[in-house]
Homo-oligomer: A and B are copies of this chain.
Amino acid sequence: MKIGVLSRESGVPLSTVKYYLREGLLPPGRLTNRNQAEYDETHLARLDLIRALRDVGGLSIAAVRDVASAIDDRSPDRRHPLDLAFDAMYPHREPEPDQREAYAVAEQDVRAFLAGLPWTVAGDDARYVREALTDALVRIRRFLWPECSVALFESYARASWWISDVESAAIEAAVGFDSVRSGGTAAVRESVLGSVLFEPVLLALRGHAHRSRTVRQAMGEPIPPATLD
């Protein structure tokens, strides 16, 4: 298809498509003569991904370019595109100046905790999860439970692994296992969108569970058991 059709089919304005081409987010089309190029379904899929990363994931143009390059990179030691996308979605945060000591202590706890998880990949840095958990542990100790042990995170890890199992199955059903494994365009797009769009579902239902539990206790109503298989 010509660039005008690509713009119309994707819903992305022509000037934006040209901008993505210039910035290297979108691979060039196949030249049919000196001034004209042909685009295909892979360009449409790539535009879908760019919009997802930009509009829903909130990624910068530079971060989208990194993710796109990782998708096209076939070298064995490349970073997984999804990893780059998550890194960009959770930017690095510095601890507040008066919290540096508490932060250092919490960080050691979190490193040990992450290393002990059955699914952590050995030698993997996992920067963003380490920073997010350390930040959370510092705040929990500061505002709620000064003696809070990182072992309390175990249950969250088990629930998270369980829910990621369900989510992966849904994404594999939608785009195919091979696409997920190879970090293909559609798989990265669906994983990023799934991660962001289902986040409020988990949080709202956790709030609802607490609220219903409290109301049931106050009314003397039975509390259904909590089991997952």
A185-214 interface bits toward B, Cβ cutoff 8 Å, 1 = contact, 0 = none: 000001101110111111111111111111
Are A217 and B180 in contact, CB atoms less than 8 angstroms apart? yes
Across the interface, which residues of B come within 8 angstroms of A94, CB to CB?
none
Are A205 and B168 in contact, CB atoms less than 8 angstroms apart? no
A1 close to B (CB within 8 Å):
no
| CB contact under 8 A between A202 and B126, given known A207-B86, A212-B119 | no
A136 close to B (CB within 8 Å):
yes
Are A190 and B156 in contact, CB atoms less than 8 angstroms apart? no
Copies of this chain, whole number = 2
> Which of A10-18, A28-36, A219-227 forms contacts with chain B?
A219-227
Are A203 and B139 in contact, CB atoms less than 8 angstroms apart? no
Smallest Cβ-Cβ distance to A129: which chain B residue: B208
> Which of A39-47, A60-68, A97-105, A157-165 forms contacts with chain B?
A157-165
Can you list 10 A-B pairs with a CB-CB distance of less than 8 A? A80-B211, A83-B211, A136-B201, A139-B197, A144-B193, A145-B174, A164-B209, A191-B214, A195-B206, A202-B206
